[in-house]
Structure 1
Amino acid sequence: MSLTAAQDKQVSELEQEQTDARQRRFLTAHQPAPGRRGPSRLGERAVAFAYQQLGKPYVWGAQGPASYDCSGLTSRAWSRAGVPIPRTSQEQWKKLARIPLGTLRPGDLIIYYREATHVAIYVGDGQVIHAPRPGAFVMLSPLAFERVLGAVRPDPGHQPLREPTPALADTANSSASPA
């Protein structure tokens, strides 16, 4: 049995309302530190790579370049930035430096669900890029689209830039939208 167009629209609207409510609660509970925090140089590279992957299909176990799963995207982005990180979201959660959510900067990884079964890369302004699920595409989403477990930083010893460089801002503004 499938949904009618009207039912499908209602489900989509309800999902969007729930995502918006989660995002508001999350941002209220985890106010970032004062001032805008830019990425590290390496984080900037990882984020720029993630933006270039927007619209590519999700395929379980894929690590690019034509398709990705969630941790395939994050591990490839950081590898391209010069920092090899564990391949799976569970290993990223276990082995990378955990950080308070109020200290997020672009490039940090957001881990979802109690079992650490999903990961996204934080790109700033309450947004992440992730490969969500089979049948979907790498996309930009609100950070709190699902239950957040915590955050990790692949490059904890690197200092943030004062502001994202123009190259990163240009990448974000000219990126492709999901197919």
Structure 2
Amino acid sequence: MSRGRTSALVVREALLRAARELLDERGPAGLAIRDIAARAGVAPMGVYNRFGSKDGILNALLEEGFAELAAAVTVRPDVADPLGAITTGMGNYRAFALANPAMYRLMFDLPIAGFEPSPEVRMMALAAFERLIDAVQVGIATGHLRPGDPEEIAQRVWAGCHGATSLELRGIAFITDYDTHYAALVRTLLRGLATHPDSESE
């Protein structure tokens, strides 16, 4: 790799790191081109040269976020205990959101007017969701989950977990022990989908 190519990658990584820091500190509304460039120690034109526009750096951040989320929720489906694998994966989903609240908001709320994620970002979001679909398919194949469309079943599980996580991040709840609440929610969701709910209740 040439020195010029290496330098370009270093600058790109510095800009993306600066954007992530500002996102964590200020939230999505705090992502301004000048501030990103200043934090990275480059001219504002450097952002445009490497990302094309603010949308380009937002897409790069989202790609990073969905890659991290996919890694977090990837749990090798256990044929002996597929529901345990789903439980672990959805626990990791919440942990990712709590550790990266600004990124999570950018990924799922899209709070920046006029911005639409790129097709590549949408594919990465789908790839993260497919980790849950894979686990559901194992649950159906092994008889732990009732037969059905794996995508629909995964959507139900994700909707419940995403809703609870989003409410927690916003502080909209009437409970204090979120850990216990979330664990009970996941058990309830899976019990409702299980072939033998009584044996899957613990």
Query: Which TM bucket (shorter chain)?
Result: under 0.3
Higher helix share: 2
Higher strand share: 1
Structure scoring higher RCO (CA < 8 A, sep ≥ 6) equals: 1
Q: Report the TM-score, using the length of structure 1 for normalisation.
A: 0.24
Which of structures 1 and 2 has the bigger CA Rg? 2
Q: Report the TM-score, using the length of structure 2 for normalisation.
A: 0.22
